[in-house]
């Protein structure tokens, strides 16, 4: 089970799946819950993305703050194909409103799974940074996508393979235009 916890000065917000055991079949949907620091549930809001019929899957990716209560989240979505597709979402963490959503398709290798690993937001350049990994043959390929705040792709960077065992988990767009990538393996 995946969930994301976001504490702030007044409450703790949790994004996760809420299971409905009354209805048969797959009926889990993403929800936003808010608790006070005494552990009392303040509210539960369904996260509904009007761009797609099916709900997105919550995955343990940290959120990236754009400003105030607006965050970017890199979820995953089952579109009925062979693989789950990374899904970039801009949402208000207070109201649960989803402002925009975009599937991030691997155009170069569409037959291989692309796993969205990390989302960051560079406030200096107003750029969204997406870190993706691609499992191809016996290696892991790393791909970074830079987008503007309207989700238009600025640049798609294929990182040179250093080792087939390197699996990047975090990245940052530096002020000089370079990118720092961290491997935790």
Tens-place pLDDT, residues 133-144: 876 666 777 888
Whether 178 shows a pLDDT value over 90: the answer reads no
Whether 24 shows a pLDDT value over 60: the answer reads no
Cα torsion through 19, 20, 24, 28, rounded to 10: -40
pTM: 0.85
Rounded to whole angstroms, the Cα distance separating 114 from 81 reads 13
Whether 127 shows a pLDDT value over 70: the answer reads yes
């Amino acid at each position: 089970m995946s969930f994301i916890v976001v504490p702030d000065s007044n409450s703790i917000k949790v994004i996760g799946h809420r299971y409905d055991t009354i209805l048969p079949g797959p009926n889990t949907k993403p929800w936003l819950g808010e608790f006070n620091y005494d552990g009392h549930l303040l509210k539960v809001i369904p996260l509904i993305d009007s761009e797609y019929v099916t709900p997105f899957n919550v995955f343990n990716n940290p959120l990236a703050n754009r400003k105030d209560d607006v965050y970017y989240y890199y979820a995953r979505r089952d579109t009925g194909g062979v693989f789950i597709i990374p899904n970039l979402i801009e949402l208000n963490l207070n109201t649960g409103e989803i402002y925009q959503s975009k599937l991030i398709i691997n155009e170069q290798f569409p037959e291989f799974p692309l796993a969205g690993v990390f989302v960051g937001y560079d406030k200096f350049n107003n750029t969204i940074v997406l870190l993706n990994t691609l499992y191809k043959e016996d290696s892991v390929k790393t791909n970074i996508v830079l987008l503007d705040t309207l989700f238009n792709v600025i640049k798609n960077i294929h990182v040179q393979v250093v080792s087939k065992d390197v699996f990047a988990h975090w990245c940052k767009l530096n002020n000089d235009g370079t990118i720092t990538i961290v491997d935790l393996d």
